[in-house]
Amino acid sequence: MKRLPMAVGVALALTMAVVVERTSVPVASQAPDARQAPADGQASDGPIPRTVLGHPDLQGIWTNNYDTPLERPAKYADKEFLTEEERAAIDNERLRILNADKRHDPKGSEQDVGGAYSQTIFLTHKHIGKRTSLIVDPPSGKLPPYAPEAQKRRDESRAYHMALLQNASACKDRKLRPRCPPYGPVSPLRKQRPPHYVTRNLNRSDGPEDRSLSERCIAGRIPDFGSTTGFFLQIGQAADAVSVYYDTGQGQGFSRVIPVTDRPHLPSHVRFWWGDSRGRWEGDTLVVDVTNFTPKGDFFGSRENLHLVERWTVVDANTVRYRATMADPTTWTQPWTVELELNRQDNKANRIYNEPRCHEGNYGLTALLRGARADERAFALGRGPDPATMCTAGAAAECGGFGGGFAESGADADPLNREE
């Protein structure tokens, strides 16, 4: 089975100078979590390492060794855990599709040219985990319904996004591109401002704000549950702080410092991209309360009103149980909770230090905007297509392209989600 290479580098940007000394003591007896999945690895990997202050030592490089969808696929509606046979069948079917690496787009088309971008990292997948969803509450494994105002905002943003796509040539054949809007003339909305702050690509490049947070190299977010392109955390720890470097996505790495303190949160007018964190120890669990998010972020529809509570529980020497509860009554009708298992990686094999390497915002975005102006000039001179007929909204979206190595539908779609 194809796996993410364990030698993917991560970096740690500590603002603290002292790392607490480690020692080991036996694990204290704890009541099991009734909703905890059977371990993918061994039941116990040794005693919990502790600092000289007695707290569990979180230091090291961590990742989730198994792939689990955020929401439970429809075919597993009443099934919380997969059997070993089901996991093996999914792995084998995914491997068949990824090894085939089929292309369905005409040679020379926008999608074919876009597919020339190296797909290697997107064709690297982990083995399927035991859970059918990372979401453990609600018990359905699905996101809760959106609050009316949030749903209205989502509908308005989607309608605007689709309007800018309706004249794209790739959308002429809706059988081939079922996610496209009905094909039609250029929408007058193309000359208007979007109804809400843009966090995903528009089919327009009038300025950097038309491009996604990912292309602008600011897609790193809290909380982070990992993705196809990688997820490694390097944690450092001191007496009054914990530092986490997130090596995630395509170079969207960032550093986060969690003060362990009883000081209150900052005033509400002070906003941060990754919120304002306050940590405290409850037994062997680091509990982190996070508020003060920026209104320009987007976490499944939630922005400045997101309230996050994280629980980092050290299970044994090689396992941390991460549990995150998200609440925002202006976005969802109820809080929801995600749980995943983080596994310790080899600190020597993975000791490659690097800085965030996202190039789209540093160099590529400037070139993308210059290219859009060149397309406009060429069209004005009768030397090129109308930019409105081109699809610049991103691959693996409505205009088609590869989606993590899987087709949009049919036998080559991801076996977790396709109808059978």
Domain boundaries, the chain: 1-420
The pLDDT assigned to 348 comes to 80
Cα–Cα distance for residue pair 249/199, rounded to 1 Å: 16
Does 88 score more than 60 pLDDT? Answer: yes
Average pLDDT over every residue of 403-412: 75
Would you say the C-alpha torsion 83, 85, 87, 93 has a positive or negative sign?
Answer: negative
User: How far is it, in rounded angstroms, from Cα 51 to Cα 24?
Assistant: 8
Residue 331 C-beta-side C-alpha neighbours within 13 Å: 18
Residue 185 pLDDT > 70: yes
36 pLDDT above the threshold of 50: no
199 HSE (CA, 13 A, CB side): 18
Where is pLDDT greater, at 264 or 346? 264
- Under the banding of pLDDT at 50, 70 and 90, the label for residue 352 is low
Question: What's the mean pLDDT when you consider all of the chain?
Answer: 83
Is pLDDT above 90 for 398? no
pLDDT score at 35: 36
pLDDT digits (tens, 9 = 90+) for 130-147: 999 999 999 999 999 999
Q: What is the pLDDT of residue 376?
A: 96
The confidence band for 24, taking pLDDT boundaries of 50, 70 and 90, is very low
State both tokens at 415. 């076996």
pLDDT tens digits for range 106-115: 676 666 666 6
In 3D space, the residue among 165, 162, 170 whose CA is nearest the CA of residue 109 turns out to be 170
The span from the CA of 226 to the CA of 212, in Å, is: 18
Residues 114 and 401 sit within 8 Å (Cβ to Cβ): yes
Region 256-268: mean pLDDT is 96
CA separation, residue 213 to residues 49, 54, 196, 299, 396 (Å): 38, 41, 14, 12, 16
Query: Residue 287 burial by CB count (10 A; 0-12/13-18/19+): exposed, middle or buried?
Result: middle
Question: Which of 7-16, 55-64, 226-235, 394-403 has the least mean pLDDT?
Answer: 7-16
The one-letter amino acid code at 261 reads T
Per residue, the 3-state secondary structure of 241-289, as one string, reads EEEEEEEECCCCCEEEEEEECCCCCCCCCCCECCCEEEEEEECCEEEEE
Alpha helices by DSSP H, 101-243? 110-114, 148-163
Residue 289 has pLDDT above 90, yes or no: yes
Q: Find the mean pLDDT for residues 229-250.
A: 88
Which of 359 and 17 is assigned the larger pLDDT? Answer: 359
Q: What is the mean pLDDT of residues 221-235?
A: 85
Other CB atoms within a 10 A radius of the CB of residue 353 amount to 11
**pLDDT tens profile 193-211:** 999 999 888 999 999 999 9
Give residue 105's pLDDT: 63
> CA 398, CA 181: separation in Å to the nearest integer?
8
pLDDT for residue 122 is more than 90: no
Instruction: Single out the residue of 153, 160, 155, 250 nearest to residue 203, CA to CA.
Output: 160
Question: Which among 296, 326, 302 is positioned nearest to 146, based on CA atoms?
Answer: 302
The whole-number pLDDT of residue 21 equals: 36
Contacts of residue 400, Cβ cutoff 8 Å, sequence gap at least 6 = 104, 105, 111, 170, 176, 177, 408
Say yes or no to pLDDT of 214 above 90.
Answer: no
Backbone angles phi, psi at 190, to 5 degrees: -60, -25
**3-class DSSP state of 378:** helix
